[in-house]
Structure 1
Amino acid sequence: MDTDEQPSPTATPRPPAIEPDAKDWTWVVEARCPQCGFAASDVDPRGIGGTVRDLVPRWVAALHRADARERPEPHVWSPLEYGAHVRDVMRVFDERVRLMVEQDDPLFANWDQDATALAERYDLQDPAVVADELARAADLTADRFDAVAPDAWERTGRRSNGSLFTVRTLGQYFLHDVVHHLHDVRA
């Protein structure tokens, strides 16, 4: 196989399954994360866009590492899989913020991150392409947060499980995800 060709999803066996993350991480908007050290409640929401942009080079570097496709343990995602997840997180949260600003108390569509990782075969994606897509999604999401009007930070929206967010707390929650996964990939 040419080194630039991607493995065929039908010809490549799936990697060992990752135990789905069933934890409710919403607590991170109120307390420091003991794993990554991030304190979402300290985040000034007006700085979310800039922080997202500042984190992109670290993600791009992680996705360009020689070991980007390698899982550190069979049941732990590789930097590539985490990068594809964070790219999709950027897209999902961009849409959620848009809904919150444009609608009154929207209910977000359910997003099963684990099912998406399997269906989209994160493990077989091209790390360089994921890096580019993550950077583009980050720019759009950062722009979305930058455009939030001062009186819109307390607008609400709800996840399908009933968790209630304001634009501010959704941004803080989102930023924790991006930072936490950098910790996961040691970037």
Structure 2
Amino acid sequence: MHTCAECEFEYDLKLAPRVSAIVRRDADAYAEALRDDVNLLRRRSDPAVWSPLEYACHLRDVLLVMRERVLAARRTVTPTAAPMGRAERIDHDGYAHQRPDDVARQLRDAAMLFGGVLDRLGDQDWDRTLHYHYPEPAVRSLRWVAVHAAHESRHHLLDIERQLAD
């Protein structure tokens, strides 16, 4: 079982059926954090680190992209998950310039949409696969995709909390 060295999240695939509830709960925590001072939300504590607002936008997009990947794996045998262009989205979508209250609402919606797709997976669906490119190219199950989404959610919430505590 893989454990994230930075946030200590464990990739336990048995967690997959509970990810829907996890990302919805985490979306509420993000929304609460996004109520902070807009200047703090837009500030990068270090040029190499995203701002809290940028992390929230990233998670919103991750959940929407993951939803599409799950749907693709349900309709196609082992599709390829195209990279989401995470670094490019910061500028292309203007993450730092978005309104925190809009992002909070959108993040909750993304969590509901992603969670809804996960909630509809049957026992046999969790083992469907797709070609995934992160962290290295591999064939991944939908269990892994769900658990990876939970890791993204938890990890970036910690990133936000650290910056807002500074």
Aligned: 1:87 with 2:60: yes
Counterpart selection for 2:124 from 151, 155, 166: 151
Query: How big is the alpha-carbon RMSD for the aligned residues of Structure 1 and Structure 2?
Result: 1.5
Per-residue Cα deviation, 1:50-79 (whole angstroms, up to 9, x for no partner): 111111111101211112112122321111
What corresponds to 2:35 in structure 1?
Answer: 64
Paired residue secondary structure (1:150):
coil
Q: CA, structure 1 residues 90+71, in 2 after alignment: closer, same or farther (shift >3 Å)?
A: same
Name the structure 1 match of 2:111.
138
Query: 1:81-117: CA deviations, max 9, x gaps?
Result: 0000000001000000111112111112222100111
Partner residue of 1:19? Answer: none
Runs of 5+ in structure 2 lacking a partner? none
Question: 2:151 aligned to 176, 180, 183, which one?
Answer: 176
**Aligned equivalents of 2:47 and 2:88: distance in 1?**
18
Is the 1:40–1:175 Cα contact (8 Å) retained in structure 2?
A: no
In the aligned structure 2, how far is the partner of 1:158 from the partner of 1:42? 17
Contact 1:48 1:146 (C-alpha < 8 Å) held by counterparts: no
What 5-or-longer segments of structure 1 have no aligned partner? 1-29
Matched-pair identity in % = 29
Q: Name the counterpart of 1:40.
A: 11
Query: 1:51 pairs with 12, 18, 22, which one?
Result: 22
The alpha carbon displacement at 1:42 in A equals: 5.8
TM-score (norm 2): 0.89
The 1-side partners of 2:72 and 2:35 are apart by 33
- Larger RCO (CA under 8 A, 6+ residues apart): 2
TM-score, L = length of structure 1: 0.80
Tell me how far apart the structure 2 counterparts of residues 71 and 63 of structure 1 sit (CA, whole Å).
Answer: 15
- Pick one of 17, 31, 38 that aligns with 2:2: 31
Counterpart of 1:165? Answer: 140
Instruction: Provide the C-alpha distance between the structure 1 equivalents of 2:137 and 2:46, rounded to a whole number of angstroms.
Output: 34
